[in-house]
Amino acid sequence: MALIVQKYGGTSVGSLDRIRNVANRIKALRDEGNQVVAVVSAMGGVTDKLIGMATELTSSPAEREMDVLLSTGEQQSIALVVMALHELGIDAVSVTGRQAGIRTTGSHTRGRINSIDPDLMNGYLKDGKVIICAGFQGLREDGMIHTLGRGGSDLSAIAVASALKADVCQILTDVDGVYTSDPRVVKDARKLPEISYDEMLEMASTGTKVMQSRSVEFAKKYGVVFEVRSSLNNNPGTIVTEEHDQMEAVVIRGVSIERSQARVTITGIPDEPGMSATILCCLAEAEINIDMIVSNIAYDGLARHSFTMHSNDLGRAQAALKPVLATLGGNSEVLTEAGIAKLSCVGIGMRSHSGVAAQMFKALGEAGVNIGMITTSEIKISVTVEEHQIEDAARVVHTAFELDKAPVV
Ligand code: ADP
Ligand code: ASP
Ligand code: MG
């Protein structure tokens, strides 16, 4: 008998038929004698619909109320999954994030999990019940309902698996696992049998939305090995785990894409200490997440900085930067460009192989894709390209690194 924690995403509970499918899958595990805790998302599209209603009423909905509103999506699906299980004769019970003892911290709509008090869930398990737990939500220190950011049910599941010391943690979704690139875009993308936490983290934070990046960080920190697999078949999925020696033999594990990016360039910045801090502090105060930052050495005493952000934040960034420009000495200008996207190659093998950037840039150049900004980490190279070229760019880079072929290790 094993304790299995599963997570079913929005598509997997997207209709009553899909909910019945989830119930059948849980019943099969139960029939084998396992204990099961399933963390579930809102039915596909529900969270977006709720956000749409809020923003139709007001352009700046209060974040506290957004938490109250969005947490209802998951609450619907836990009750429905439990009802489907009751129909199959399974003794199941739903728990909200609060009931599950999930304690959170941070600003509204961006909660982080602080701790989980597993007593109630352990009691239910002891009584032989299947537990269906609402993902994406917890109880903040001040007693408020709190959501965990988009895709946050992944984080709930990993944290619950850790708190309950589960034997198995599975993230069930609408694809068979983690692929070398988004299979909806790169048709010959291959399912990876395994991937290291660090690679999964870099892929997740560069646009591979199959896992929420903070959930992978949490899994790495607490050593939760998990499997990403399909809720629609029984194919083996992708194991996300600690890095081991053979993993470095593969140079590039995957290619990620992130759309809807915008670039802001500030020119004519005096080449003096404190200038970059002045600019970035004002963006931080406006709660704008900056992604890539590229800066050139100054020429004639003047520097220029470029950074990227989600295109939704562009207007707010321009407004936040306006008063700062005046303090930079009068020669500064803000230039903006929307309609760009980010392409990233990720692989821990990059640490021990040279020439990866050259190979990536050559493939893009030959395909007529112009590179905007470039940033790197030890295991990642990211570039910006025009958004209309991002899919072609992903395909040519995927082919250039032969990711469509099984690696010879
Ligand atoms: P869920 O609703 O189960 O949380 P998501 O929609 O958040 O599922 O994530 C699954 C989707 O992630 C897939 O349908 C797929 O299009 C997308 N995706 C992007 N990149 C990848 C990748 N490298 N491997 C697998 N799926 C990916
Ligand atoms: N329902 C939330 C979202 O759509 C959380 C999740 O599905 O993981 O982002
Ligand atoms: Mg998801």
pLDDT tens column, 46-86: 999 999 999 999 988 999 999 999 999 999 999 999 999 99
Sign of the CA dihedral 216, 220, 221, 225?
positive
CB 223 within 8 A of CB 197: no
- Measured in residues, the chain has a length of 409
Q: Which ligand is nearest to the CA of 254?
A: 1
**Atom of ligand 1 at shortest range from CA of 8:** 3
Confidence of residue 406 (pLDDT cuts 50, 70, 90): confident
CA 173/CA 211 separation, integer angstroms: 10
CA 203/CA 255 separation, integer angstroms: 8
Using a 6 Å cutoff on CB, does residue 209 contact ligand 1?
yes
The Å distance, Cα 139 to ligand 3 centre, comes to 21
pLDDT at 408 over 70: no
Using a 6 Å cutoff on CB, does residue 179 contact ligand 1?
yes
Task: Give the strands of the sheet with 254-270, arranged side by side.
Answer: 293-299, 302-310, 254-270, 333-346, 380-386, 374-377
**Tokens 């020439």 map to which residue?**
355
Sign of the CA dihedral 296, 334, 312, 111?
positive
CA 237/CA 164 separation, integer angstroms: 23
Q: Encoding tokens for residue 134?
A: 């609402």
**Tokens 């220029």 map to which residue?**
304
* DSSP conformational letter for 86: H
- The dihedrals phi and psi of 376, each to the nearest 5 degrees, come to -135, 155
Report pLDDT for 330: 67
The Å distance, Cα 39 to ligand 3 centre, comes to 12
Nearest to 296 by CA among 327, 261, 259, 265: 265
CA 238/CA 229 separation, integer angstroms: 7
* DSSP conformational letter for 292: -
CA 230/CA 172 separation, integer angstroms: 5
The residue whose CB lies within 8 Å of the most ligand 1 atoms, and thus the one to mutate among 153, 210, 395, is: 210
Using a 6 Å cutoff on CB, does residue 210 contact ligand 1?
yes
Using a 6 Å cutoff on CB, does residue 71 contact ligand 2?
no
Using a 6 Å cutoff on CB, does residue 173 contact ligand 1?
yes
pLDDT 10s digits, 265-304: 999 998 888 888 989 999 999 889 999 999 888 888 889 9
Report pLDDT for 181: 98
Mean per-residue pLDDT over the chain, rounded: 95
pLDDT 10s digits, 114-135: 999 999 999 999 999 999 999 9
Q: What are the CA-CA distances from residue 63 to residues 12, 145, 149, 185 (Å)?
A: 28, 11, 12, 34
**Atom of ligand 1 at shortest range from CA of 185:** 16
Beta bridge partners, 308, equal 263
**Atom of ligand 2 at shortest range from CA of 148:** 5
Q: Which ligand is nearest to the CA of 151?
A: 2
Kindly report the number of other CB atoms within 10 A of residue 404's CB atom.
15
3-state secondary structure of 165: coil
Protein residue with least CA distance to atom 27, ligand 1: 182
Query: ∠20-26-32 over CA atoms, to 5°?
Result: 140
Beta bridge partners, 376, equal 381
The Å distance, Cα 67 to ligand 1 centre, comes to 24
CA atoms within 13 A on the CB side of 307: 19
- β-pairing verdict for 168-173 and 130-134: unpaired
Query: ∠4-91-132 over CA atoms, to 5°?
Result: 50
Using a 6 Å cutoff on CB, does residue 172 contact ligand 2?
no
CA 256/CA 179 separation, integer angstroms: 10
Sign of the CA dihedral 280, 281, 283, 288?
positive
* DSSP conformational letter for 350: G
- Cβ neighbours for 154, distance < 8 A, ≥ 6 positions apart: 7, 135, 171, 211, 212, 215
Question: Mean of the pLDDT values across residues 246-259?
Answer: 93
Query: ∠197-199-203 over CA atoms, to 5°?
Result: 115
Question: What are all long-range contacts of 352-361, with beta carbons under 8 Å and residues at least 24 apart?
Answer: 352/248, 353/251, 356/251, 356/252, 356/381, 357/381, 359/400, 359/401, 360/397, 360/400, 360/401
The residue whose CB lies within 8 Å of the most ligand 1 atoms, and thus the one to mutate among 173, 226, 238, is: 173
Kindly report the number of other CB atoms within 10 A of residue 370's CB atom.
12
CA 323/CA 286 separation, integer angstroms: 13
The residue whose CB lies within 8 Å of the most ligand 2 atoms, and thus the one to mutate among 11, 69, 136, is: 136
pLDDT at 409 over 60: no
Question: Mean of the pLDDT values across residues 162-179?
Answer: 98
pLDDT at 327 over 90: no
> Which H or E run includes 363?
helix 356-366
Domains of the chain in sequence order: 3-174 (3.40.1160.10), 255-400 (3.30.2130.10)
pLDDT at 255 over 90: yes
Using a 6 Å cutoff on CB, does residue 73 contact ligand 2?
yes
The residue whose CB lies within 8 Å of the most ligand 1 atoms, and thus the one to mutate among 74, 171, 172, 182, is: 182
